Amino acid sequence: MSILYRSVEFKLFDSVVRFTKSTKLWQDKHFILREFKFLKQAAFLAITLTILSSLLEGFGLGFILNFLQNITDPNATPIQTGINWIDMWVLGVNRPVIERIYRISALILITTWLRSAFMFGGRRYSMITQMNLLDRLRKKLFEQLQRLSLGYFSHSRSGALVYSLTTELEKINQAFDVTAFMLTRVSLLVVYVTSMFLLSWQLSIASLMLFSLMSVGLSNLVKRLRETSFDVSKAGSNFTSVAVEFINGIRTVKAFASQDFERRRFYNASENVANITIKSASFGYAIEPIGESVATTILIGMIIVAFTIFVPNGQMQAASLLTFLFVLFRLIPIIRLINNARGRLGEFTGPMNNIKELLRTDNKPYLQNGNVQFSGLQRAIEFASVDFGYDPSNLVLHDITLTINKGETTALVGASGSGKTTLADLIPRFYDPTAGKIIIDGIDIQKFEINSVRRKLAIVSQDTFIFNTSVRNNIAYG
């Protein structure tokens, strides 16, 4: 029986996992969502404390209704929960009015302070989750770049990679912050809507229909904002690339007196970022004021309907109406903030897509590592009919056959651009041949563990790179 239960449980869990992975949300955001299995504790605490904070808000609304009833209509039958010990010992429904007011006031204060404590805890653990997620994504990007062949960097702009590692990752961090904010507000929204239905289902249905229409109307702006986010990312990436190229090539710029040309490139890239960002922000900034204006119109309409129809007919008590309006007043800013957050999330679609593409493994060149440790050259290095091209359709080296024996000094001589450096770069496996083999002491070089080969090589680069550290550390590097 136990085995059967576990089998059913496993199949159910497996079905849930398969369904989750088939959803568009998982396919679009899987590179983020799969990281949460390493952040379960902090994420669970953040969600739990946020929900508890929202539930206490709901209890607080109930106490406010009770408080208003005792003030506006002291002789009315006290509101009861139906749970005898709560009604008698906590709310004191059989006690004098003034004592009930004191009790409810104390309960309001207790729930307020508890809600504040839970809110603080929820936000703190949300920040812990957020920072750890960002840290994991940074490290995954770093490891991805470490594993890639140099061929990938030959076709990528360094500025674009720097932009992804810094600005776009920071935007993902902001997206998580907005998502956590939305979770808090949505949980409050559920509590408020439930409270509204308990007070007046007629007014609640009318309010929900009108707010839903408002959200549908704003969806077009959110869609436009999402589309422009790709242009913002592209413009930012191009600007960073231009800036990095200018800084790294400043000696060349000055040597060829090309400051005017670089100025035009830099100014154009900067203006492009400004113009596209203004266009994107215009859609984002339109969401909040439109939403606020429509929501205020709905609120005024609800007040007029309530006072002209429901109160005169006795369908609502004054205390219930005041509580309903209080909830509606609290609800409108939340709906406005949620709509604003939807717009902000649209801004982050472009950066998320770029990070997802950078983390993909099925469309990038990797060097397959061997498992044979290289202890040092014993006989010779052989190039056997080697072809190579940075683009396979345009070969730089063709049918190279060469033997370099141990102890010999070999010079590669040729015109600039003839492939001398490229040929030398194949020995430490900065690249792998497009065709043919490189053999060391009778063993294909691809069977060796890459770093064991590189540690036995002395490489003097044509382009000297100085790390931002001491001279001693630069000399001792590696």
Per-domain residue ranges of the chain:
26-359, 380-475
pLDDT tens profile 140-150:
988 888 888 88
Confidence (pLDDT) at 382: 92
Of 449, 335, 427, which Cα lies nearest the Cα of 383? 427
Neighbours of 423 (CB within 10 A): 18
Confidence (pLDDT) at 85: 59
- Give the residue, 16 or 118, on which the prediction is more confident: 118
359 has a pLDDT exceeding 50: yes
Confidence (pLDDT) at 8: 47
Q: Determine the Cα–Cα distance for residues 459 and 466; give it in Å rounded to an integer.
A: 15
Confidence (pLDDT) at 134: 86
Residue 261 pLDDT class (50, 70, 90 cuts): confident
9 has a pLDDT exceeding 50: no
Q: Write out the DSSP string of 345-405.
A: HHHTHHHHHHHHHHH-STTS-BPPP--BPP---SSEEEEEEEEE-SBTTB-SEEEEEEEEE
Is-contact 280 231, C-beta < 8 A?
yes
Cβ neighbors of 335 (< 8 A, separation 6 or more) are 189, 211, 214, 215, 291, 295
CA 34-39-45 angle, 5° bins: 125
What value does the mean pLDDT take over residues 394-422?
A: 86
Q: Write out the DSSP string of 31-53.
A: HHHGGGGGSHHHHHHHHHHHHHH
Is-contact 96 74, C-beta < 8 A?
no
- Give the residue, 313 or 140, on which the prediction is more confident: 140
380-475 has the same fold as 26-359: no
Q: Determine the Cα–Cα distance for residues 237 and 276; give it in Å rounded to an integer.
A: 13
Tokens matching residue 207 = 């309010």
Q: Determine the Cα–Cα distance for residues 149 and 425; give it in Å rounded to an integer.
A: 12
pTM of the model: 0.71
403 has a pLDDT exceeding 50: yes
Neighbours of 447 (CB within 10 A): 14
Q: Determine the Cα–Cα distance for residues 126 and 133; give it in Å rounded to an integer.
A: 10
Q: Determine the Cα–Cα distance for residues 22 and 31; give it in Å rounded to an integer.
A: 14
Is-contact 372 443, C-beta < 8 A?
yes
Both ends of the chain: CA-CA distance in Å? 60
Is-contact 298 210, C-beta < 8 A?
yes
Q: Which of 68-72, 168-172, 308-312, 448-452 has the lowest mean pLDDT?
A: 68-72
Long-range pairs, 5-14, Cβ under 8 A, ≥24: none
pLDDT tens profile 16-57:
456 556 666 566 667 777 888 888 888 888 888 888 888 887
Superfamily designation of domain 380-475: P-loop containing nucleotide triphosphate hydrolases (3.40.50.300)
For the chain, percent of residues with pLDDT exceeding 90 = 5
Q: Determine the Cα–Cα distance for residues 335 and 296; give it in Å rounded to an integer.
A: 11
**Residue where the block lists tokens 């709905």:** 298
Tokens matching residue 119 = 């809110």
pLDDT tens profile 295-312:
778 777 777 777 777 666
CB neighbour burial string for 48-64, b if at least 16 within 10 angstroms, e if fewer: ebbbbbbbbbbbbbbbb
Is-contact 346 218, C-beta < 8 A?
no
CATH architecture, range 26-359: Up-down Bundle (1.20)
Of 392, 391, 395, which Cα lies nearest the Cα of 418? 395
Provide the edge-to-edge strand list for the sheet that holds 397-405: 397-405, 380-388, 435-440, 443-444
SS3 272: helix
Cβ neighbors of 152 (< 8 A, separation 6 or more) are 364, 365
What value does the mean pLDDT take over residues 428-447?
A: 90
pLDDT tens profile 328-342:
777 877 877 787 787
13 has a pLDDT exceeding 50: no
pLDDT tens profile 207-218:
778 877 777 777
Is-contact 347 282, C-beta < 8 A?
no
Neighbours of 439 (CB within 10 A): 18
Confidence (pLDDT) at 16: 47
Is-contact 125 42, C-beta < 8 A?
yes
